[in-house]
Amino acid sequence: MKKLFTLIAVLFSLSVQAQYYLGFDGTDTFFNRFIVVDTINYHHNQWQVGSPHKTTFSAAFSAPNVFVTDTLNPYAPNDTSVFILKMAKSIPAWPGSTHYGPLYNISFDYQLDIDTQSIARLEISEDSGGHWHDVNDSLTSTYSWATSTIDTIATTSGSWRNFNVYRNFGPLASDTALFRFTFISGTSTAPHDGWMIDNMFIYYWFEGGVVQVQNANLISLYPNPSKGNIYIHANRSASNASVVVYDLSGREVHRRSITTSDTYINLLLPSGMYMLKYVAGDEYCTKKILIEH
């Protein structure tokens, strides 16, 4: 069963990131701590945690559970379902610490099965809900996309997609960043499955004397999912790079040095989700990898 947890992983000599992973197993207290399903303003809210058993939504991205607009039934017409992800803009490095690290990345996998009248919307508020910014319209200067390919929320049905946005470092604040997920169904009564979300990652960043720069385009890898044999291509010369793989408990399960731009790694690991970190000089990137046997 997937779990919600806090992972503190040493990335480099003095740089550490804290990571929250929401796998939607429906039991951990982190779900209730971070996510609010708005049933006060939207009495027929259809967001549910569970294993999907629908026509199109038949399986999670990583089994067993997802967060979805009803686990069993097509979404109802003329309805609105809303949940809000609440994340502190900064957190202490450890309980009681005066050393704070800022929120810097939100990512998740999602799938849509909708008609032309229905809308999946993600908005961000930095002022406790006073103003909301639709990520499909524009981002405030506080946020930036992971790559030049903008990861807006799709407007059409399709297979699994990934959303990935970065929060630019600024003055640390004790208040909260809000992410509002809204699904609005149209008038059509034709059956569709709606919006399904899995594998939500939230990262905080702590720095010491060494600053590593995240570069999401540093490598490409395939296949993913795989049985453990993965080809990695570095998009710049790599004479002294390294690859480290962690399981979702934060335990290092694989490490090797890389001296060429193209290499294969053979991960003899059980099926499941892992985090691969590639470090080259003063740059790094992280990739989610899924092993399926």
Please report which confidence band the pLDDT of residue 206 belongs to, taking 50, 70 and 90 as the band edges. low
Q: How far apart are CA 270 and CA 227, in angstroms?
A: 9
Domains of the chain (ranges; CATH) run 5-206 (2.60.120.200), 213-291 (2.60.40.3080)
Which pLDDT belongs to residue 118?
A: 96
Contact 220/235 with Cβ under 8 angstroms? yes
Which pLDDT belongs to residue 117?
A: 94
Which pLDDT belongs to residue 96?
A: 60
Contact 288/199 with Cβ under 8 angstroms? yes
Which pLDDT belongs to residue 210?
A: 44
Contact 109/162 with Cβ under 8 angstroms? yes
pLDDT 10s digits, 1-37: 333 333 322 222 234 456 677 888 755 557 788 899 9
The answer, yes or no, to whether residue 272 has pLDDT greater than 60, is: yes
The answer, yes or no, to whether residue 152 has pLDDT greater than 60, is: yes
pTM confidence score: 0.69
Which pLDDT belongs to residue 102?
A: 73
pLDDT 10s digits, 32-67: 888 999 999 998 999 999 999 999 999 998 888 999
